[in-house]
Structure 1
Amino acid sequence: MISMLEIFIKELLHASLVGSLGIIVIVFLQKTLFKRYTHAFCYYIWLAVVIRMIVPFKIPIYLSQEVYKFFVYFFDVKPITDNTNWLNYNMVVKSSVNVVSVNSNNTINYFEILFYLWLIVSIIFAVYYIVSYISFNKKIKNFMYDIPDNNIDGIYSNLLIEMNIRKKISLKFCRGISTPLGIGIIHFYILLPEVNYTAEEIKYILKHELMHFKRHDMIYKIILLVVTIIHWFNPLAYILCRLINNNCELSCDEAILKKSDIKERKLYALTLINSLRLNKNNAFQNNLTMGFNSKKNILRGRLENMLNLKKRKKGVTIGALAVILTISSVISVNAFAKNSSSSVDRTNTSINKTVKTNTQNNVRIVYSGKTKDMPQKYKNMFNIKDSTEDNTKSIVITGFKEYTYSNAPESAKKQYEEACKKLNIKPDPSHVIFAHEK
């Protein structure tokens, strides 16, 4: 039996592999083709990889035949018909594909072991991030206090108006930090260290932090943490987070200096250098903070870009293509067949159906695997033909009689009810089931 846990692990590993390939491709492109594009483009193009890694499975969407025709060239389409027939016996029906899978109950399912290992470590990571953030918030709130300088409050108020920011973002001084910080998920704060900045430096520092909040960079950071929680086993997931954080700072600088001349750019660069000079080891550090300073390994790149007046491309076409590819990779469009009846129970469409042949008492199914590996008791029970052939895809099962659930024998009803219970499906009187002929 192919369990849902096995399917999940396979989909997760597939998403991690696809994401890893995406990371390698984008890193290569950013060093070559993407040099001509804005840092904002380089920052947001990562979302194509991030979304694919967060959504390891495909989300089904069901459309009519007419609408389906517009999507057939872009999505994986699986038509659904109303000829729902159910095979009821000691076999388990697998969702989404026309497969009936048989396994020995004594077989060790290593995928289930992997799932529980992944789940335990993921929970540990999630708990660690949540507890560390709550602890960080509690500690830092004991060291923050109101700004006593009216001039700083005046600069801050003017920037809120200039940048059209209406959300409440509190400005505070904070002991124990040596670099400006932006924090908060529900309540937002900008924290300034106890450093004597000039009015010009305060302006650029506050503008930088406000730009992070305006662009919702904190939400991006939370999504990245989710990626590391889900893909903790993939070292490229941590590299992805570091690269995106670097692009975040570069794109933030770019947004602030968008309409600035060379003089203003030099002042901004000097503000960053001076802030780094004053920066020491912070007493408070957390993954969910946005600082004016960044690591020294990207300082050179930030300074070069601040003084670069060359116009860059926005990358609208490539961005649109990335959106289409991302959507197509996480969505499976399913088309209802033209002969679908409105009376068909749609809850049944997520479960595999057997396809009945022209003969009343013959059922044709698709078997996953080699028929020679099928347990002998199933071969005997279902009178399977061509059982010696390897990789048989189509098997004719004979000796069954068709019933509806309402008039089926009690033994067949009970077995069908047990199968429905495992699949969280409610039996319906109109469902078709098969049982041995008496």
Structure 2
Amino acid sequence: MLSDVFYWLLNMSITGIFTGIIILLIRQIKRIPRRICHILWVLPFLRLVLPFGLSHRYSIMNLLSKLSTRTKIVHLTPPDASFNVSMTNHMAFAESYFPIVHKTNLLEDVFDVASLIWVIIAVSALLTVFVLYFITKSEIKDARHLRDNVYTSDKLLSPAIFGILRPRIILPKYMSEDNTEFVLLHEKTHLKRGDNLFRIIAIIICCFHWFNPFIWLFLKFYLEDMELSCDELVLQKCGQDRKKEYAAALIECEENKMLFASAFGGAKIRIRIKNILSYKKLTLFSGLCFLALIIAIAATLLTNAV
């Protein structure tokens, strides 16, 4: 049973790599706003958790199936149905998808051992995540309340949000009042989008796929685009003529990365300032074009091979 679960996970990890690489390539197009890239990063993470999906002739996974040593499609819908739900097996040397029948007893034994190692490290990683979460929580429990859900603490060097059910905006004790407006706009944008929840979900997914180095790379760029897209939304609210003021506020808030907090200084400052100064407000037409792009990319990356 455990080896079967691990086998499903390996297939999801492979499709996740393929999807993530496509997003990385799209990300290199400079004219695409970071908020679009931030949305697109949802696709590889969905691939990492969805064991099945609709089949479509235009799916990019058709290419991956051709590159696989052997592919087995398990049909889950009647032949006369208008659509086909399937699971594509990208692993080599397998005679069937589920249950797994290996070609040799040696391969089966290796897979059993590998699946045991996987679950031990995955559980250990999850426990580490929760321990770090509660350590961080204990460090800021003495934060002083200012107003609403805004607090101040001398334990932080940069503003951040902590919590999921009752998130709190925590400001550094010695932060300049001139930058408070930008900081609160930034953090409230994170709150409105639920970034803290999505951050933790992404980290938990990576714990299950700990053996895949590409997944950790995708997490890095996802969190970076989360901050950059938040900057763009703030500039959209306060106006492009205040770019330099916002950049100055960013420089003042020294970087203090927190695993479970959407921090104002949570990405490389040089990259963020460059993105801020080059920001241009989206027009209605360009917004509709990017929406169509997202739908088209999702249709090709979230569907399985025919």
Q: Say yes or no: TM over 0.5.
A: yes
Please state whether the residue corresponding to 1:195 is helix, strand or coil: coil
Q: How does 1:136-151 map to 2 (within 5 A)?
A: 136-142=136-142, 144-147=143-146
Corresponding residue of 2:214: 236
1:52 aligns with 2:42: no
What is the deviation of 1:119? 0.4
Q: How does 1:100-139 map to 2 (within 5 A)?
A: 109-139=109-139
1:319 aligns with 2:289: no
Contact 1:228 1:237 in 2 (8 A): yes
* In 2: Cα distance, 1:258 partner to 1:239 partner: 29
Corresponding residue of 2:156: 177
- Name stretches of at least 5 consecutive residues in structure 2 with no aligned partner: 55-74, 88-95
What is the deviation of 1:95? 8.2
Q: Could you tell which deviates more after superposition, 183-192 or 17-26?
A: 17-26
Instruction: Report Cα offsets for 1:249-300 as digits up to 9, x if no partner.
Output: 1100111111544432221111112223xx6xx6xx64111111134xx322
RMSD of aligned Cα (Å): 3.1
When residues 210 and 237 of structure 1 are mapped into structure 2, their CA distance, relative to the original with a 3 A threshold, is: same
* In 2: Cα distance, 1:58 partner to 1:290 partner: 32
Q: How does 1:18-37 map to 2 (within 5 A)?
A: 18-32=15-29, 35-37=30-32
When residues 264 and 102 of structure 1 are mapped into structure 2, their CA distance, relative to the original with a 3 A threshold, is: closer
Among residues 252, 266, 270, which one is paired with 1:294 in the alignment? 266
1:304 aligns with 2:274: yes
- Name stretches of at least 5 consecutive residues in structure 1 with no aligned partner: 78-93, 148-152, 154-168, 333-438
Q: How does 1:81-230 map to 2 (within 5 A)?
A: 109-142=109-142, 144-147=143-146, 153=147, 170-198=149-177, 200-230=178-208
Instruction: Report Cα offsets for 1:370-426 as digits up to 9, x if no partner.
Output: xxxxxxxxxxxxxxxxxxxxxxxxxxxxxxxxxxxxxxxxxxxxxxxxxxxxxxxxx
Contact 1:6 1:111 in 2 (8 A): yes
What is the deviation of 1:327? 4.3
* In 1: Cα distance, 2:104 partner to 2:220 partner: 45
**Normalising by structure 2, what TM-score?**
0.78
When residues 25 and 328 of structure 1 are mapped into structure 2, their CA distance, relative to the original with a 3 A threshold, is: closer
What is the deviation of 1:102? 9.5
Identical amino acids, percent of aligned pairs:
23
Please state whether the residue corresponding to 1:258 is helix, strand or coil: helix
What is the deviation of 1:28? 2.1
When residues 10 and 178 of structure 1 are mapped into structure 2, their CA distance, relative to the original with a 3 A threshold, is: same
- Larger relative helix fraction: 2
- Larger relative strand fraction: 1
* In 2: Cα distance, 1:116 partner to 1:211 partner: 41
Indicate the structure (1 or 2) with the bigger Cα radius of gyration. 1
* Amino acid corresponding to residue 292 of structure 1 in structure 2: F
What is the deviation of 1:196? 4.5
Corresponding residue of 2:230: 252
What is the deviation of 1:182? 0.5
What is the deviation of 1:301? 2.6
